[in-house]
Structure 1
């Protein structure tokens, strides 16, 4: 694979027009990469879908790898705009050593932001395919690296810290991470397998009302589990205190 170069930016005078063209190319590239995969896609196909000529695409992105990188950066930036506020609030609660109830609320706020992204902003088939190919390891690793660094890494880190603090386990403990995956997995099923989940529910789509039903159900289940893990932690801590008192006696 050739070296990935940073995309060129248009001169300041033509920035608005150049940015519009650049975004049109990225939108077309997401469709083509989603439908065909990186290897089968060509810059010629992407340019044609975007309504520009091949030299215009090369001007902004140099090559196919550059376009692919820009697609991943677009997704990461778009998603992080939604997640940054809840992540920052969660970090603030962790730093202030907030109580268990506040930590549970912080985790649920993150989870509901994920739910809103899945249920209230449904993506096209090509967008889902882009992510499915990336998750399956079928595409260049640069997309996973960008999304991991900008979105998944910060999101998973603060989520594991919240769950660890609530349940009394280390953030990097396998149990903590399994718990995090199980809680997020309640939502990911609808993102990764929308057709089968809708079929099972007898729904044709997830509208606002159905989205709220899903969110409230997941919220209740998540709160119940987090409160249970918190109670288990408190029981362990109480047991340790009693054991310590007996030894002193």
Structure 2
């Protein structure tokens, strides 16, 4: 498994220019990896789209796999910046043994953050394609490893812990995991199946107002389910 290289910079000055070049290459690579897959995207085409010469890719990333890893790291870090505040609030609620409603609020807070990232602010189509290919299992494993470690694992850990407290089941209970996937799958569906959503709702586009409507609907129905599972927990304990 290759590790991403430290960012190379000129010895004196040129810091912003070096960062900008690296960013252009990553953006171009995310687009072409998303459009054509790892095998179908050539380093020559990536360099041309980024407006750099081919050796620049080797200079910054060593090889194609290093560039693919850098793309996954970039996507993970961008998403984590959105999710981290809600995750930290959720961890704090768990640490202080907060009550049921506070735990539900924490779970909804993470749902809102995910919906903001995927629906309201509209994740880049290139990013969606990159992730869709990565999830298909046809791309280099390093991308999934990065996204799992930096993004999915911490999200799943705190979400499962919240659901465990709310429902009274173990965090590793298959039902807990299925419920977690189902609740968060709502935002992913509206993100990856935008065309079908627009067709069903007879919308020409999902603008900011409509995206906010979807987010509120997701969170409202999720809150109902969370409260229901909490009532089930209390009923079991009362027996």
- Structures share fold, TM-score greater than 0.5: yes
| Gap runs ≥5 in structure 1 | 240-249
Q: Does 1:99 align with 2:104?
A: no
Q: Does 1:61 align with 2:61?
A: yes
> Residue 187 of structure 1: CA displacement?
1.5
**Whole-Å Cα distance in 2 between the matches of residues 194 and 116 of structure 1?**
15
Q: CA-to-partner distance for each residue in 1:54-91, whole Å, 9 max, x for gaps?
A: 11221111111111111001001111111111101100
**Whole-Å Cα distance in 2 between the matches of residues 181 and 93 of structure 1?**
21
Q: Does 1:10 align with 2:5?
A: no
Query: What does residue range 205-220 of structure 1 map to in structure 2 within 5 Å?
Result: 205-220=205-220
Native 8 Å contact 1:25 1:50 kept in 2 = yes
Native 8 Å contact 2:4 2:69 kept in 1 = no
- Greater Rg by CA: 1
Query: What does residue range 99-178 of structure 1 map to in structure 2 within 5 Å?
Result: 99-178=99-178
Structure-2 residue corresponding to 1:247: none
State the SS of the aligned residue for 1:170: coil
Structure-1 residue corresponding to 2:49: 49
Native 8 Å contact 2:133 2:139 kept in 1 = yes
> Residue 5 of structure 1: CA displacement?
5.2
**Whole-Å Cα distance in 2 between the matches of residues 71 and 3 of structure 1?**
14
Q: CA-to-partner distance for each residue in 1:4-27, whole Å, 9 max, x for gaps?
A: 552541135221111110001001
**Whole-Å Cα distance in 2 between the matches of residues 30 and 23 of structure 1?**
11
Aligned-residue Cα RMSD (Å) equals 1.4
Structure-2 residue corresponding to 1:32: 32
Report how many residues are paired.
238
Structure-2 residue corresponding to 1:186: 186
TM-score scaled by length of structure 2:
0.96
| Gap runs ≥5 in structure 2 | none
